[in-house]
């Protein structure tokens, strides 16, 4: 799983990122990595 961090707002505080948003973002990143890797014939072992 890729780590997705919320962007900082102008005051330097952490913007709220819900668990669901994190999960969806992580899935999208994983899919993208898989897609590129398979195109290049690279096998990626996922850490679960």
What pLDDT, on a 0 to 100 scale, did the predictor assign at position 40?
A: 85
- Mean of the per-residue pLDDT values for the chain? 74
d(CA 10, CA 22) in angstroms, rounded, equals 21
Who has greater pLDDT, 6 or 30?
30
d(CA 31, CA 43) in angstroms, rounded, equals 13
d(CA 24, CA 18) in angstroms, rounded, equals 10
pLDDT over 60 (residue 1): no
Are 17 and 6 in contact, with CB atoms under 8 Å apart? yes
Domain ranges of the chain: 14-41
Condensed to tens digits (0 to 9), the pLDDT of residues 11-25 reads 655 666 788 888 888
């Amino acid at each position: 799983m890729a780590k997705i961090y919320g962007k900082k707002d102008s005051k330097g505080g952490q913007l709220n990122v819900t668990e669901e948003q994190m999960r969806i973002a992580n899935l999208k990143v994983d899919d993208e990595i898989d897609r590129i890797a398979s195109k290049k014939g690279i096998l990626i072992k996922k850490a679960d």
